[in-house]
């Protein structure tokens, strides 16, 4: 396949962000995201509200992405979209729109796995960012997913560890809810953790065999800890909030790093990449950098805007698939539990 002058439109609608991006020969020309603020008052994403907002946002978002890229829809060579995993109603909006647009323009339609997008975002042409060589280990950490993936090639991936209950993002959000913080709580915990003592309070780390994760026990332990301490002192959370946040974040980071250490030892792979919304956490990024000195790792962290849900990562996967001559049929269906 000729790799010259290829424009691919990427569409992402797996959860509560409607996004569209245009990629040109591996370089991002536009990356437009419409976030949905309505979920904040509910303390989490409401699927039906998310679907309705996607329907309202998708046309203006795609229009804006094409406009910022400086091209017309007729110049597109292919359309890539998130097929899954994600919220079914949200996925259906992006899938239906992508199928219709590709059909109308008579160009290839390319389905993308959202989790592969987080991993392959590292291959977007971006100055100052190294691309991990194969094979490498990828840790994808987000509100809905926590996985360690052995990446042998672009589309040869093996999940070697994953959460058996809550994702790491849920651990942050649920802990934040217990502490009375807003949604999403991850950024606020990260901010307060910088001001607190990470060893002020000890929380039990779940014992899970192999490379799998569990965060539901940690959440329950934090709940019981807060209930116990506030009985003694009703102002305990208010007076110790920064220390509590620092201790929670420290515990989560130790859980993640311990599993990465084991994965690296078991596979012999020292190239480590992270992706997903929680990879924006400053403590996790620092722990990964520390791993270069402690464990001899070479680490890869994507550009900040490519960590949370975005369409640039969908566009790069679409571009790489297009180069391999891949396209999908019009009868493709969204899949809420799509596996890598």
Contact 311, 11 (CB under 8 A): yes
What are the binding residues?
114, 118, 140-144, 173, 186, 190, 281, 309
What are the binding residues for Fe cation?
114, 118, 309
> 139 - beta bridge partners?
148, 274
Distance CA 314, CA 318 (A): 6
Contact 101, 32 (CB under 8 A): no
Q: Could you read off the pLDDT of 65-116 as tens digits, one per residue?
A: 999 999 999 999 999 999 999 999 999 999 999 999 999 999 999 999 999 9
- Return the domain boundaries, the chain: 7-125+307-324, 136-301
Predicted TM-score (pTM) of this structure: 0.93
Distance CA 19, CA 340 (A): 21
Q: Could you read off the pLDDT of 207-266 as tens digits, one per residue?
A: 899 999 999 999 999 999 999 999 999 999 999 999 999 999 999 999 999 999 999 999
Distance CA 338, CA 140 (A): 15
Q: Which fold has domain 136-301?
A: Nucleotidyltransferase; domain 5 (3.30.420)
Q: Out of 1.10.3720.10, 1.10.260.40, 3.30.420.40, 3.40.640.10, which CATH number does the structure's domain 7-125+307-324 have? A: 3.30.420.40
pLDDT of 1 above 50: no
What are the binding residues for substrate?
140-144, 173, 186, 190, 281
Contact 313, 118 (CB under 8 A): yes
Determine which helix (DSSP H) or strand (DSSP E) holds 32, and give its type and residue range. Answer: strand 27-35
DSSP three-state, residue 31: strand
Q: Which of 111, 91, 167 is nearest to 337 (CA)?
A: 91
Q: Could you read off the pLDDT of 106-158 as tens digits, one per residue?
A: 999 999 999 999 999 999 999 999 999 999 999 999 888 899 999 999 999 99
């Amino acid at each position: 396949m000729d790799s010259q002058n290829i424009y691919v439109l990427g569409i992402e609608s797996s959860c509560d962000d409607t996004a569209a991006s245009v990629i040109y020969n591996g370089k991002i020309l536009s990356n437009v995201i419409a976030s949905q603020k309505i979920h904040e008052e509910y303390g989490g994403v409401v699927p039906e509200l998310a679907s309705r907002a996607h329907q309202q946002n998708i046309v203006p978002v795609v229009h804006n992405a094409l406009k910022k890229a400086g091209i017309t829809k007729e110049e597109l060579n292919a359309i890539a979209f998130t097929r899954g995993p994600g919220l079914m109603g949200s996925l259906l909006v992006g899938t239906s729109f992508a199928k219709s647009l590709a059909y109308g323009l008579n160009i290839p339609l390319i389905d993308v796995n959202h989790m592969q997008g987080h991993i392959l975002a590292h291959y977007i042409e971006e100055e100052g960012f190294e691309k991990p060589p194969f094979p490498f280990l990828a840790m994808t950490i987000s509100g809905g997913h926590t996985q360690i993936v052995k990446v042998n090639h672009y589309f040869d991936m093996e999940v070697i560890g994953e959460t058996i209950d809550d994702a790491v993002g849920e651990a942050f959000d649920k802990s934040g809810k217990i502490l009375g913080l807003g949604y999403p709580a991850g950024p606020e915990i990260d901010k307060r953790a910088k001001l607190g003592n990470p060893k002020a309070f000890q929380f039990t780390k779940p014992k899970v065999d192999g490379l799998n994760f569990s965060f539901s026990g940690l959440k329950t332990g934090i709940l019981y800890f807060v209930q116990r301490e506030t009985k003694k002192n009703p102002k305990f959370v208010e007076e110790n909030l920064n220390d509590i946040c620092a201790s929670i974040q420290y515990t989560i980071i130790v859980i993640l790093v311990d599993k990465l250490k084991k994965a690296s030892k078991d596979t012999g792979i020292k190239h480590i990449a992270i992706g997903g919304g929680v990879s924006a956490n400053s403590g996790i990024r620092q722990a990964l950098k520390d791993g270069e000195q402690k464990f001899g790792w070479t680490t890869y962290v994507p550009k900040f805007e490519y960590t949370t849900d975005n369409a640039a990562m969908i566009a790069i996967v679409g571009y790489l698939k297009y180069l391999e001559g891949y396209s999908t049929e019009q009868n493709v269906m969204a899949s809420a539990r799509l596996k890598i």
